[in-house]
Amino acid sequence: MSKNEPPLVEACEPTRLAGTVLSTADAAALAAGFKAVADPTRLRLLSLIAAHAGGEACVCDLTSDFDLSGPTISHHLKVLREAGLVTAERRGTWIYYRVVRDTLATLSQALSPAAHELEVTA
């Protein structure tokens, strides 16, 4: 080999996948859910709703636990609703929120392969 020739590089051999790969649409949906719970206020709101009897809480039960204005709490609840993490139902003048457990399970399952790999390599 002369000085001007580039070094030989071995070709990369593709490895076979051992699991399912997310589609672009599924990855986008999961990212929206993770983005929604990445905020401490929204994560706490989700926790408070889930902790209420029957997994349902009135907005009036949620606002007193935060040092935030009503509109700010409403904004955070809207983000959780749009991400599919909670549902809302108006009853008279109050809105009741309920955790969507299937969405939380989907987010949790998306993390399971990564958590398993960490256990194996640690």
**Residue 76 covered by a domain:** yes
Number of domains in the chain: 1
**Residue 13 covered by a domain:** no
* pLDDT of amino acid 111: 78
**Residue 54 covered by a domain:** yes
- At 98, which CATH number? 1.10.10.10
**Residue 9 covered by a domain:** no
Question: Which long-range CB contacts under 8 A does 107-112 form with residues at least 24 apart?
Answer: 107/30, 107/33, 107/34, 107/37, 110/22, 110/30
* pLDDT of amino acid 122: 41
**Residue 60 covered by a domain:** yes
pLDDT single digits (tens) 56-92: 999 988 888 899 998 999 999 999 999 999 999 999 9
pLDDT single digits (tens) 86-119: 999 999 999 999 999 999 888 888 877 654 444 4
pTM: 0.74
Residue of 94, 93, 103, 85 whose CA lies nearest to 48:
85
d(CA 34, CA 122): 25
Q: What is the mean pLDDT of residues 23-33?
A: 88
Residue 96 lies in domain: 25-121
